[in-house]
A and B are shown apart, each in its own frame.
Chain A
Amino acid sequence: MDTLVAQLQRQFRDYTISLYHQGFLDDQFTELKKLQDECSPDFVAEVVSLFFEDCEKLIGNMARALDQTGNVDFNLVGSSVHQLKGSSSSVGAKRVKGLCVTFKECCDSQNFEGCVRCLQQVDIEYKSLKAKLQDLFSLEQQIVQAGGRIPQVDI
């Protein structure tokens, strides 16, 4: 039992560290973790799932805006990007945030090609982050189920 927990814990730790190292997450995610306590045990998951909903909605909006061939409202796209940037920075989704910065520049310079490319990348990026975080959460659940404690990971 203990070995399973220890293994899971090690896996969790490694996985978390890899997420940081690969640039998926940054310190802000750590901040979120700090906010999670007994009163709100699922705080991070809640915020993150809210974030992914937000992503889906915003990406949908942007895709629609960019689909208006010849009549793209870059301001509209830009405000969505801004929103996404704010959200991603709040949850510590580092890669998404970085892409948003580039995306915003493309919007400001009305670079349609760039916007489309960024949109695709953001879509890919948030989905892969989602998958990874789901993995992470399921690892957490496994640890809890195995009766272990979720380890503190120092980055």
Chain B
Amino acid sequence: MVCEMETDQTEEMDVEVLSSMWPEDVGTQADNQFNVEKPAGDSDTLKEVDIAEKRTMADLKRLPELLNTTDQGSSQLTNLVRQWEYMQDHAVRLLREELKILTKQREEAEAKELKIIEEHNFETEEPENVPVLDETSHLFRRFRQKKRDELVDSKRVVIDEEFDTVAYWKQKALSLEKMLEASTERERRLIEKLNESLKTMESHSAPVEELTQNLKRAEGFLHFILQNAPIVMGHQDKDLRYLFIYNKFPSLREQDILGKTDVEIFHGGGVKESQDFKREVLEKGKASKREITFETDLFGSKTFLIYVEPVYNKAREKIGINYMGMEVTDQVRKREKMAKLREDNAVRKAMESELTKTIHITEETMRAKQMLATMSHEIRSPLSGVVGMAEILSTTKLDKEQRQLLNVMISSGDLVLQLINDILDLSKVESGVMKLEATKFRPREVVKHVLQTAAASLKKDLTLEGNIADEVPILVVGDVLRIRQILTNLISNAIKFTHQGKVGIKLKVISEPSFASEEQNETSVWICCDVYDTGIGIPENALPCLFKKYMQASADHARKYGGTGLGLAICKQLVELMGGQLTVTSQVNAGSTFTFILPYKVATSDDHSDDQEEFSDMVDHQPEPDDTTEGYFQFKPLLGSIYSNGGPVIGNNFLPHKVMLTSPVRIINGFGAEPSNNTGQSETVQVGNGGYMDETRQNCPESGHEYGNGNGGCSSKESESCSSSQASSEGGVLEMESEITVSSSKEEEKTETSKPKILLVEDNKINIMVAKSMMKQLGYTMDIANNGVEAINAVKESSFDLVLMDVCMPVLDGLKATRLIRSYEESGNWDAALEAGVDIKTSENDQTCVPPTNRLPIVAMTANTLAESSEECYANGMDSFISKPVTLQKLKECIQQYLQ
């Protein structure tokens, strides 16, 4: 078979051939010579099959013994014997029957013969007897005659001659003789037949020969079936030593296998397992199957399905095992491949469904976000109305309880407003609308002011400190508003969760971190900012979800400390938007440190004059000598003393710049003043912004009690819009004042400085009329453009502070017009507009036209407030949108947002 496989393999390489269980290139010559040359493919009869008998290896001495002692062995023999006996019995019965028949025939024949002889004697020998019994013979003869007449009546010989003549007797004698001859002949034949039967009987009677033949046939049949089967069979004794093996590995010789155990024969993986399995079967006495993969030096990696059954002797004692192994390597491999495929399939399917789910969720989220933004936007308007009204109400005469209730109302309203602003911020960042601005600022001052602001509203016994390393540049470029927002957020967070000790900010320059992207150019400096506290800390398990939206370290904290849970999420997003990283380390009950790393461009401090409004408030008033380089600040919650430390005070954002800031004295804005103490609102403004601190104090003796611990008067130091709500939660008066002063101060300003210029781009006459009238009521006038082209020309001719842009217009719609205006802002020329076919009027000052330095706020007016539409507005460079119909409130808010 080995040879055959070799040829097969070479001939039919590409055809899938069931390879031999054992490799082809092993095997001894001795084995080969006994193998079948090549079993003919069409040999379907047993006779034609030549059987290789050398495949079996058996311990001949012990195998018969085994056969004799085991049930299986003896029962096989018994069967054979029984079969033989049955056959013999059958033959004997047949022979007996035959014998019986023959005997009967013979008896008949003998009877007949006797009769004939008698007759014959009586008739033929009568004459010879006559002389002897002459006298009596007659009588006797007569008697005989009579008797014969009676007996052989039927067989009376017909004789033509006349009775009792010589001829008659002669004739009779002759015929009788003939009959006798026939009878004799018959007898002879019968005897012959009998002899023959006896002979055949003898030939059947050799049981050994019969048994041998049967055995041979059975063995031949087994060989026929098994010789090509990938099956190993064997018997092992109690100690698992082989006594018999069929289809053994070709290179193994008899002495290698017989009397040895698996472990002694083979080495490698699986051998031990199979041995143990066999032992287990032997111990349990229960036949069982198992798949075992062998990894042996002899035949490599093959998997066998092994069947093992225990063997008992007649006394029901275990004497060994029979085992049968079938090689199933390919099947196993296929099965495993299939399983793997199926698994892969399942995994892929799961991934696919996961992906579609994710996509779906993302889409939903995006939609929800837009919806949220729109909703928030819509909610903000009425809410600010509510809060505003409540603040106005708080200026009226109220009793103590009413005031308390009102304060709760205002602070709740402020919280909701804060939340909505946070949501808007978040969705802006997430939808990529948030644009960063690059402005020069002084990190030291930012830190200082953030701390000052925080100190102002501090109600706890905490030390606030700022520590800026010397190498941190004096002036850097970044989005100071956002950075301040982050710092403020982190600081207020730190303060919220710290009950004693200190909260601080530490700034230092670090080398470029690994996550920095390539684009960041050389001029940038990486500044690492730590905001640390000695607060309650954050448990480790809460860290992962710390930056998630609406998440707080625990529900307990949320209850105890309040807050929207959006602050850190916004910080993280802002930091990441700016190309940095926000991380946190914390230890429960010891404190937390939030660290953010951001790249900044370094600005030279020479171009001081260019300092833009972003922090002009700090720059414009008298700088203290150490202000720009001071590296350490500390604010202690000691009454009054805090303020002496902080040098410059931030000016009032609500006022046009540089109006009152010429005062050399530190300014406190007077929003804390009770309006009742003043003659009117506009006057309040003047006093508030222009007045000296002590003057304000005098003016508002009551202001002290508005704030829990008396440092309230100073909370007015902070004037950033982001912190004003904080302050207002302490004392609602503040916010109200700022609200009112907004518009009144505006009107005030109009007389002194130029009015803000507003451009309304709208094609509908009625809308124009209504909007104009509303603006008038708000104290503004507007220029009108009837379509996008007119708007572009208007923007080109003069500079505006705000553009209200209808989206849907003839000639050139609002979206395109906005895009073109933005393109002009970026490039400094109107090429894009010209390309778009916009008819631009040329004017004499075209040559002197320089690109504008500021982004022109453009607010869309949309007919539908659907998310897509607002998305489109943002995408086309609009800053925000108001939905139509335009109302006074909407316009007012818009103006507050962009003109103040």
Residue B863 is within 8 A (CB to CB) of chain A in the complex: yes
Residue B186 is within 8 A (CB to CB) of chain A in the complex: no
Q: How far is the CA of A46 from the CA of B768 in the complex (A)?
A: 13
| Cβ contacts under 8 Å, B863 to chain A | 82, 85-86, 89
| Cβ contacts under 8 Å, A83 to chain B | 763-764
Query: In residues 113-147 of chain A, which contact B (Cβ within 8 Å)?
Result: none
Contact A87 B767 (CB under 8 A): yes
Contact A91 B766 (CB under 8 A): yes
Query: In residues 26-77 of chain A, which contact B (Cβ within 8 Å)?
Result: 27-28, 31-32, 34-35, 37, 39-40, 43, 46-47, 50-51, 54
Residue A79 is within 8 A (CB to CB) of chain B in the complex: yes
| Cβ contacts under 8 Å, A35 to chain B | 770, 773-774, 776-777, 888
| Cβ contacts under 8 Å, B773 to chain A | 35, 40, 43, 47
Q: How far is the CA of A69 from the CA of B886 in the complex (A)?
A: 38
Contact B808 A47 (CB under 8 A): no
Q: How far is the CA of A35 from the CA of B887 in the complex (A)?
A: 10
Residue A110 is within 8 A (CB to CB) of chain B in the complex: no
Contact A54 B766 (CB under 8 A): yes
| Cβ contacts under 8 Å, B766 to chain A | 47, 50-51, 54, 86-87, 90-91
- Contact among B763, B769, B777, B885 for A47, CB-based, below 8 A: B769
Contact A34 B770 (CB under 8 A): no
Residue B810 is within 8 A (CB to CB) of chain A in the complex: yes
- Contact among B770, B810, B888 for A79, CB-based, below 8 A: B810
Smallest distance from the beta carbon of B868 to chain A beta carbons, Å? Answer: 15
| Cβ contacts under 8 Å, B767 to chain A | 86-87, 90
| Cβ contacts under 8 Å, A43 to chain B | 773
18 intermolecular pairs with C-beta atoms under 8 Å apart: A27-B887, A28-B885, A31-B770, A31-B885, A31-B887, A32-B770, A43-B773, A46-B769, A50-B766, A51-B766, A54-B765, A86-B764, A86-B766, A86-B767, A87-B764, A87-B766, A90-B766, A90-B885
A79-B810, A82-B808, A83-B764 are known contacts. Are A89 and B885 too (CB-CB below 8 A)? yes
Q: In chain B, what residue has the closest Cβ to A88?
A: B766
Q: How far is the CA of A31 from the CA of B890 in the complex (A)?
A: 11
| Cβ contacts under 8 Å, B777 to chain A | 34-35, 37
Q: How far is the CA of A71 from the CA of B777 in the complex (A)?
A: 47
Smallest distance from the beta carbon of B439 to chain A beta carbons, Å? Answer: 38
| Cβ contacts under 8 Å, A89 to chain B | 863, 884-885
Query: In residues 740-795 of chain B, which contact A (Cβ within 8 Å)?
Result: 763-767, 769-770, 773-774, 776-777
A51-B766, A86-B767, A86-B863 are known contacts. Are A31 and B888 too (CB-CB below 8 A)? yes
| Cβ contacts under 8 Å, A82 to chain B | 808, 863
Smallest distance from the beta carbon of B381 to chain A beta carbons, Å? Answer: 13
Q: How far is the CA of A83 from the CA of B769 in the complex (A)?
A: 14
Q: In chain B, what residue has the closest Cβ to A28?
A: B885
Number of interface residues of B (CB under 8 A): 19
Q: In chain A, what residue has the closest Cβ to B770?
A: A90
5 closest A-B pairs by CB = A87-B766, A35-B773, A86-B764, A28-B885, A89-B885
Q: How far is the CA of A40 from the CA of B770 in the complex (A)?
A: 12
Q: How far is the CA of A121 from the CA of B57 in the complex (A)?
A: 107
Smallest distance from the beta carbon of B451 to chain A beta carbons, Å? Answer: 45
| Cβ contacts under 8 Å, A85 to chain B | 863
* 14 extra interface residue pairs, beta carbon distance < 8 Å, beyond A28-B887, A35-B777: A28-B885, A32-B770, A35-B774, A35-B888, A50-B766, A54-B765, A82-B863, A83-B764, A85-B863, A86-B764, A86-B767, A86-B863, A90-B764, A90-B767
| Cβ contacts under 8 Å, A79 to chain B | 810
Contact B884 A90 (CB under 8 A): yes
Smallest distance from the beta carbon of A11 to chain B beta carbons, Å? Answer: 27
Query: In residues 882-900 of chain B, which contact A (Cβ within 8 Å)?
Result: 884-888
Of B766, B808, B886, chain A has the most CB atoms within 10 Å of the CB of B766
| Cβ contacts under 8 Å, A92 to chain B | 885
Contact A34 B885 (CB under 8 A): no
Query: In residues 784-819 of chain B, which contact A (Cβ within 8 Å)?
Result: 808, 810
| Cβ contacts under 8 Å, A87 to chain B | 764-767
Of A31, A89, A90, chain B has the most CB atoms within 10 Å of the CB of A90
Q: How far is the CA of A88 from the CA of B580 in the complex (A)?
A: 50
| Cβ contacts under 8 Å, B885 to chain A | 28, 31, 89-90, 92
| Cβ contacts under 8 Å, A27 to chain B | 887
Of B767, B769, B776, B863, chain A has the most CB atoms within 10 Å of the CB of B769
Smallest distance from the beta carbon of B251 to chain A beta carbons, Å? Answer: 86
Q: How far is the CA of A36 from the CA of B765 in the complex (A)?
A: 18
Q: How far is the CA of A85 from the CA of B203 in the complex (A)?
A: 124
| Cβ contacts under 8 Å, A47 to chain B | 766, 769-770, 773
Q: How far is the CA of A103 from the CA of B333 in the complex (A)?
A: 70
Q: How far is the CA of A39 from the CA of B763 in the complex (A)?
A: 25
Smallest distance from the beta carbon of A114 to chain B beta carbons, Å? Answer: 20
Q: How far is the CA of A27 from the CA of B889 in the complex (A)?
A: 13
Q: How far is the CA of A35 from the CA of B765 in the complex (A)?
A: 16
Smallest distance from the beta carbon of A131 to chain B beta carbons, Å? Answer: 19
Smallest distance from the beta carbon of A105 to chain B beta carbons, Å? Answer: 13
Q: How far is the CA of A155 from the CA of B774 in the complex (A)?
A: 21
Q: How far is the CA of A10 from the CA of B505 in the complex (A)?
A: 67
| Cβ contacts under 8 Å, A50 to chain B | 765-766, 769
Q: How far is the CA of A86 from the CA of B885 in the complex (A)?
A: 8
Q: How far is the CA of A38 from the CA of B863 in the complex (A)?
A: 31
Query: In residues 264-319 of chain B, which contact A (Cβ within 8 Å)?
Result: none
Contact A86 B888 (CB under 8 A): no
Q: How far is the CA of A54 from the CA of B770 in the complex (A)?
A: 14
Smallest distance from the beta carbon of B73 to chain A beta carbons, Å? Answer: 95
Smallest distance from the beta carbon of A32 to chain B beta carbons, Å? Answer: 7
Smallest distance from the beta carbon of B848 to chain A beta carbons, Å? Answer: 38
Q: In chain A, what residue has the closest Cβ to B772?
A: A35
Q: How far is the CA of A39 from the CA of B777 in the complex (A)?
A: 10
Q: In chain A, what residue has the closest Cβ to B773?
A: A35
Smallest distance from the beta carbon of B222 to chain A beta carbons, Å? Answer: 86
| Cβ contacts under 8 Å, B769 to chain A | 46-47, 50
| Cβ contacts under 8 Å, B888 to chain A | 31, 34-35
Smallest distance from the beta carbon of B38 to chain A beta carbons, Å? Answer: 83
Q: How far is the CA of A50 from the CA of B772 in the complex (A)?
A: 15
Q: How far is the CA of A151 from the CA of B887 in the complex (A)?
A: 22
| Cβ contacts under 8 Å, B884 to chain A | 86, 89-90
Q: How far is the CA of A46 from the CA of B887 in the complex (A)?
A: 18
Smallest distance from the beta carbon of B494 to chain A beta carbons, Å? Answer: 45
Smallest distance from the beta carbon of A84 to chain B beta carbons, Å? Answer: 9
Q: How far is the CA of A34 from the CA of B778 in the complex (A)?
A: 12
Smallest distance from the beta carbon of A85 to chain B beta carbons, Å? Answer: 7
Q: How far is the CA of A28 from the CA of B883 in the complex (A)?
A: 13
Q: How far is the CA of A50 from the CA of B776 in the complex (A)?
A: 19
Q: How far is the CA of A47 from the CA of B808 in the complex (A)?
A: 21
| Cβ contacts under 8 Å, B764 to chain A | 83, 86-87, 90
Q: How far is the CA of A54 from the CA of B766 in the complex (A)?
A: 9
Q: How far is the CA of A37 from the CA of B776 in the complex (A)?
A: 11
Smallest distance from the beta carbon of A96 to chain B beta carbons, Å? Answer: 12
